[in-house]
Amino acid sequence: MTAYFPGSAGNVLTEFDLPRDARIDAVIARTAFERPTLVLDTALVAENYRALSDGLGHAVIHYAVKANPAPEIISTLVREGSGFDAASRAEIELCLSQGARPDRISFGNTIKRAADIAFAHGVGIDLFAADAEEELEKIAQHAPGARVYIRVISEPNGADWPLTRKFGCASDRVIPLLNHAAALGLDPVGLSFHVGSQTRRAAQWAGTLDQVAGLWHAARAEGFALSLLNIGGGFPAFYGDEIDAPTEYAAQVMALVTERFGHVPHVMAEPGRGMVADAGKIAAEVLLVSRKSETDLHRWVYLDIGKFSGLAETTDEAIRYQFETARDGDDTGTCILAGPSCDSVDVLYEKRPVQLPLTLRAGDRIVIANCGAYTSTYASVGFNGFPPLDLMVI
Amino acid sequence: MTAYFPGSAGNVLTEFDLPRDARIDAVIARTAFERPTLVLDTALVAENYRALSDGLGHAVIHYAVKANPAPEIISTLVREGSGFDAASRAEIELCLSQGARPDRISFGNTIKRAADIAFAHGVGIDLFAADAEEELEKIAQHAPGARVYIRVISEPNGADWPLTRKFGCASDRVIPLLNHAAALGLDPVGLSFHVGSQTRRAAQWAGTLDQVAGLWHAARAEGFALSLLNIGGGFPAFYGDEIDAPTEYAAQVMALVTERFGHVPHVMAEPGRGMVADAGKIAAEVLLVSRKSETDLHRWVYLDIGKFSGLAETTDEAIRYQFETARDGDDTGTCILAGPSCDSVDVLYEKRPVQLPLTLRAGDRIVIANCGAYTSTYASVGFNGFPPLDLMVI
State whether residue B170 sits within 8 Å of chain A by CB. Answer: yes
For residues A164 and A226, membership in a common domain is answered with yes
Q: In total, how many domains does chain A have? A: 2
Domain that holds residue A332: 2-39+278-393
State whether residue B340 sits within 8 Å of chain A by CB. Answer: yes
For residue B290, the one-letter residue type is: S
- Assembly ipTM: 0.90
Which residue of A111, A362, A377 is in closest CB contact with B383? A377
State whether residue A275 sits within 8 Å of chain B by CB. Answer: no
CA nearest to A86, candidates A68, A70, A66, A71: A66
For residues A353 and A294, membership in a common domain is answered with yes
A382 CB neighbours in chain B (<8 A) are 69, 90, 377
Distance from CA of B80 to the nearest CA of A (A): 23
Last residue of a domain, one of B214, B241, B276: B276
Please count the CA atoms within 13 angstroms of the CA of A289 that sit on its side-chain side. Answer: 18
What average pLDDT does the segment B18-43 reach? 95
State whether residue A15 sits within 8 Å of chain B by CB. Answer: no
The H or E element containing residue B188 is strand B187-192
State whether residue B163 sits within 8 Å of chain A by CB. Answer: yes
State whether residue A304 sits within 8 Å of chain B by CB. Answer: yes
Last residue of a domain, one of B276, B294, B321: B276
One-letter-per-residue 3-state SS of chain A: CEEECCCCCCCEEEHHHCCCCHHHHHHHHHCCCCCCEEEECHHHHHHHHHHHHHHHCCCEEEEEHHHCCCHHHHHHHHHHCCEEEECCHHHHHHHHHCCCCHHHEEECCCCCCHHHHHHHHHHCCCEEEECCHHHHHHHHHHCCCCEEEEEECCCCCCCCECCCCCCCECHHHHHHHHHHHHHCCCEEEEEECCCCECCCCHHHHHHHHHHHHHHHHHHHHCCCCCCEEECCCCCCCCCCCCCCCHHHHHHHHHHHHHHHHCCCCEEEECCCHHHHHHHEEEEEEEEEEECCCCCCCCEEEEECCCCCCCCHHHHHHCCCCCEEECCECECEEEEEEECCCCCCCCEEEEEEEEEEECCCCCCCEEEECCCCCCCCCCCECCHHHCCCCEEEEC
pLDDT at B158: 61
For residues A297 and A181, membership in a common domain is answered with no
What's the CA dihedral at A359, A363, A365, A366 to 10 degrees? 70
Say whether pLDDT at B118 is over 70: yes
For residues B173 and B101, membership in a common domain is answered with yes
For residue B319, the one-letter residue type is: I
A111 CB neighbours in chain B (<8 A) are 287-288, 302, 338, 340
Segments in chain A below pLDDT 50 = 1-15
Is B342 part of the annotated catalytic residue set? yes
pLDDT at B293: 86
State whether residue A135 sits within 8 Å of chain B by CB. Answer: yes
Beta-carbon separation of A293 and B134 below 8 A: no
Which one of A107, A161, A199, A342 makes the best mutation probe of the B interface by having the most chain B beta carbons within 10 Å? Answer: A342
For residues A17 and A113, membership in a common domain is answered with no
- Distance, in Å, from the CA atom of B65 to the CA atom of B73, rounded to the nearest integer, reads 9
State whether residue A243 sits within 8 Å of chain B by CB. Answer: no
- Distance, in Å, from the CA atom of B337 to the CA atom of B305, rounded to the nearest integer, reads 10
Nearest residue in A to B361, CA atom:
A134
Beta-carbon separation of A386 and B172 below 8 A: no
Say whether pLDDT at B163 is over 70: no
pLDDT at B213: 97
- Distance, in Å, from the CA atom of A329 to the CA atom of B59, rounded to the nearest integer, reads 51
- Distance, in Å, from the CA atom of A279 to the CA atom of A198, rounded to the nearest integer, reads 16
Nearest residue in B to A311, CA atom:
B380
- Count of CB atoms situated within 10 Å of the CB of B122: 11
pLDDT at A1: 28
Last residue of a domain, one of B236, B260, B276: B276
For residues B138 and B207, membership in a common domain is answered with yes
For residues B56 and B155, membership in a common domain is answered with yes
For residues B160 and B55, membership in a common domain is answered with yes
For residue B315, the one-letter residue type is: T
- Distance, in Å, from the CA atom of B146 to the CA atom of B132, rounded to the nearest integer, reads 16
**Using alpha carbons only, how large is chain B's radius of gyration in Å?**
23
Which one of B288, B302, B307 makes the best mutation probe of the A interface by having the most chain A beta carbons within 10 Å? Answer: B288
Residue-wise pLDDT tens digits, B349-385 = 999 999 999 999 999 999 999 999 999 988 888 888 8
For residue B383, the one-letter residue type is: F
B38 CB neighbours in chain A (<8 A) are none
Cβ-in-10-Å burial (0-12, 13-18, 19+) of B118 comes to middle
pLDDT band at B11 (very low <50, low <70, confident <90, very high): very low
For residue B87, the one-letter residue type is: A
pLDDT at A318: 86
What average pLDDT does the segment B30-56 reach? 97
Say whether pLDDT at B169 is over 80: yes
Say whether pLDDT at B250 is over 60: yes
Of the residues B95, B335, B342, B371, only one is catalytic, namely: B342
B169 CB neighbours in chain A (<8 A) are 290, 292-293
A-to-B residue pairs, Cβ atoms closer than 8 angstroms? 218
For residues B222 and B207, membership in a common domain is answered with yes
- Distance, in Å, from the CA atom of B173 to the CA atom of B150, rounded to the nearest integer, reads 10
**Count of residues in chain B:** 394
Nearest residue in A to B65, CA atom:
A384
What average pLDDT does the segment B163-178 reach? 90
Nearest residue in B to A94, CA atom:
B385
For residues A308 and A286, membership in a common domain is answered with yes
Residue-wise pLDDT tens digits, B177-230 = 999 999 999 999 999 999 988 999 999 999 999 999 999 999 999 999 999 999
pLDDT band at B17 (very low <50, low <70, confident <90, very high): low
Distance from CA of B14 to the nearest CA of A (A): 37
Which residue of A109, A135, A346 is in closest CB contact with B342? A109
Beta-carbon separation of A287 and B363 below 8 A: no
Nearest residue in B to A169, CA atom:
B292
pLDDT at B165: 85
CATH of the domain at B16: 2.40.37.10
Say whether pLDDT at B10 is over 80: no
- Distance, in Å, from the CA atom of B60 to the CA atom of B55, rounded to the nearest integer, reads 11
pLDDT at B145: 98
Distances (CA, A) of B327 to B323, B330, B358: 11, 6, 9
E strands in B193-265: 228-230
Distances (CA, A) of A134 to A316, B41, B96, B141: 33, 36, 50, 62
For residues B309 and B362, membership in a common domain is answered with yes
State whether residue B113 sits within 8 Å of chain A by CB. Answer: yes
- Distance, in Å, from the CA atom of A176 to the CA atom of A196, rounded to the nearest integer, reads 25
- Distance, in Å, from the CA atom of B99 to the CA atom of B81, rounded to the nearest integer, reads 11
- Distance, in Å, from the CA atom of A19 to the CA atom of A44, rounded to the nearest integer, reads 11
Residue-wise pLDDT tens digits, B258-270 = 999 999 999 999 9
- Distance, in Å, from the CA atom of B379 to the CA atom of B312, rounded to the nearest integer, reads 7
A298 CB neighbours in chain B (<8 A) are none
pLDDT band at B297 (very low <50, low <70, confident <90, very high): confident
Main-chain dihedrals φ then ψ at residue B329, nearest 5 degrees: 115, -30
For residues A250 and A286, membership in a common domain is answered with no
pLDDT at B160: 65
B292 CB neighbours in chain A (<8 A) are 131, 153, 165, 168-170, 173
**Count of residues in chain A:** 394
B132 CB neighbours in chain A (<8 A) are 288-291
Active-site annotation of A, residues: 342
B366 CB neighbours in chain A (<8 A) are none
State whether residue B67 sits within 8 Å of chain A by CB. Answer: no
CA nearest to A341, candidates B272, B75, B190, B184: B272
CATH of the domain at B238: 3.20.20.10
Q: Is B145 helix (H, G, I), strand (E, B) or coil?
A: coil
- Distance, in Å, from the CA atom of B154 to the CA atom of B195, rounded to the nearest integer, reads 7
One-letter-per-residue 3-state SS of A87-141: CCHHHHHHHHHCCCCHHHEEECCCCCCHHHHHHHHHHCCCEEEECCHHHHHHHHH
